[in-house]
Structure 1
Amino acid sequence: MISRLSGAVLRAAMVILMIAMPALVLAHTSVDTAQIVALVCIVAGVFTFVEYNSSSPSLIEFRDAPPFNRIRFGGLAATVVALTVIAKGATDPTTLTALFQIIGGSLADAMDFPYSPVRLVVLMLPPEADVTLINDVRIAAGLSYLVSLLSLAVFVVALRLKNWPNQRGGFNVWTNLPTFDPTAGGDVVHRLERDGQVNLILGFLLPFLIPALVKLASDVFNPIQLQDTHTLIWTMTAWAFIPSSLIMRGIAMLRVAQMISNQRERAYLNAKEDDGLPA
């Protein structure tokens, strides 16, 4: 009980710190922005604490199957920190901010090629956007997209090396997939495979679809004002994190489906050996 409580408090504190970091680090944060950030921090902190302190989660998946959520949070936090450091260099340049600016610019140049997600993000900007804004968006998009790819690579390596998700000897579907109802109908393995494939397809397509949809919607609605530093940080973070999170979820669900299928085969073979069932 104490271990669960302390873990929930630690996770909630880390989530709050990550959300508040841009507002705490960047100068000239408006009062309205600070109030919105404070409200989001409270909601996210309470939600994280309740989910991890409860014995029956309601929304957070793979809670008891590390390092799935740790890798996702690490990638999200790394993106926010990197973009915040780069944004801070615009008003308070230091050696660290200059280093991040150079790295981000090099990554943007390498990933900004025709039909790439980074190029599509740049193209969604209005024609009257100035050169400084275009460069900032390119750097933020390239850096955030690279971090998302690295987090995916880390998860795949962990999956292979640690026999995820049952490296602890068992996997509770109810605890780790609270939004998935095994009794909803149909074969569980087929449903997991279908959901996993849908997540993979969406995760791959969203980096390309989101800029196109924003560009189309800008003709009807007011376009996203990426001139605001906080908006730029969180927009680029969400643009890169959501697709990578969907891909990771798809891989995880396909892995769980494979694990259940293997257990069924072993149970069938054991029953056939014990009872003499025909092949």
Structure 2
Amino acid sequence: MVILVATPSLLVPGTSADTAQITALVAIFAAALTLFEYASTYPGLVEFRDAPPFNRIRFLSLFTTIFLLSVIARGHVLPTTATQFITAIGHLIGQALDFPYSPVRLLVLMLPSDAGPAEVEALRTAAGMSYLISLLSLAVFIAALRVMGWPAQFGGFNVWVNLPTFDPTAGGDVVDRLERDARINIALGFLLPFLTPAVVKAAASLFGSVSMANSQTLIWTVAAWAFLPASLFMRGIAMGRIATMISAERKRNSSAAKDGSLLHA
């Protein structure tokens, strides 16, 4: 977590002393939270803590996004062969995904009308790279579901530990509530890349236009724009998977109870 938070400050030249201090504080806080969560026996805030590789895939997705965007931003100041190669890949992906009504096009349109061509191109490149990584992370997670049989490959699934914010006793059938939450998360994951630029554009009239001239702002904004919808998609798929497991377990228990009653009869 420390490396994840500190990567933009370490790779992008020209980081100010104030930014470095804030980054160090956030990195220490994130590391402490992760350490306490995974060292504790009882549930906390992190979901699917004992159901790998859910959080590992999400972490690797976010770290890869932050790292590649930092390399691209570094290439604007200190170009090398590696930075130019990664920037070229991001440019091609951004151009391919920049079609009418696409999430990348909507994010680019979020910029003010007086934004320069360099700022528009930098945002398009970062958005294309980030969106591709988020799609790949979803593909990897779905493959883990199919190949590894997640989350049942390590035995029983503890709902209390892995879903600390979900209360099974709150009322209603657990399976129905899990399926409802799964649908809500998947819907939000699909709509968020489209809604976020529109909301920011609408809020610009009240709070001022958005500027992506600062590399740190560009990196974290675009990474969050791509990572949060993918994370919601994965959460929805995971909750749907758990609902299916609980429903299947109920059917097996019901069949076993019927067979037992027939034997005693």
Match of 2:168 in 1: 182
Q: Does 1:94 align with 2:80?
A: yes
2:128 aligns with one of 126, 142, 157:
142
Shift of 1:25: 1.3
Find the aligned partners of 2:185 and 2:44 in 1 and give their Cα distance. 20
| Equivalent AA in structure 1 for residue 255 of structure 2 | L
Shift of 1:85: 0.5
Find the aligned partners of 1:37 and 1:224 in 2 and give their Cα distance. 22
Runs of 4 or more, structure 1, over 6 Å off, are none
Find the aligned partners of 1:269 and 1:223 in 2 and give their Cα distance. 62
Find the aligned partners of 2:10 and 2:87 in 1 and give their Cα distance. 20
Find the aligned partners of 1:31 and 1:210 in 2 and give their Cα distance. 31
Find the aligned partners of 1:129 and 1:271 in 2 and give their Cα distance. 68
Overall identity of the aligned pairs, in %:
58
Shift of 1:223: 2.8
| Equivalent AA in structure 1 for residue 121 of structure 2 | N
Match of 1:112 in 2: 98
Match of 1:125 in 2: 111
Find the aligned partners of 2:173 and 2:127 in 1 and give their Cα distance. 40
Q: Does 1:237 align with 2:229?
A: no
Over aligned residue pairs, what C-alpha RMSD do you find? 0.9
Match of 1:272 in 2: 258
Q: Does 1:263 align with 2:263?
A: no
| Equivalent AA in structure 1 for residue 172 of structure 2 | G
Find the aligned partners of 2:63 and 2:7 in 1 and give their Cα distance. 10
| Equivalent AA in structure 2 for residue 245 of structure 1 | S
Instruction: Calculate the TM-score normalised by the size of structure 1.
Output: 0.93
Higher relative contact order (CA 8 A, sep 6+): 2
Q: Does 1:210 align with 2:202?
A: no
| Equivalent AA in structure 2 for residue 145 of structure 1 | Y
Deviations 1:145-181 (A, max 9, x none): 0000000000000000111111012111111111111
Runs (5+) with no aligned partner, structure 2: none
Find the aligned partners of 1:201 and 1:213 in 2 and give their Cα distance. 17
| Equivalent AA in structure 2 for residue 86 of structure 1 | I
Instruction: Calculate the TM-score normalised by the size of structure 2.
Output: 0.98
Runs (5+) with no aligned partner, structure 1: 1-14
Contact 2:212–2:218 (CA under 8 A) maintained in structure 1: yes
Q: Does 1:25 align with 2:3?
A: no
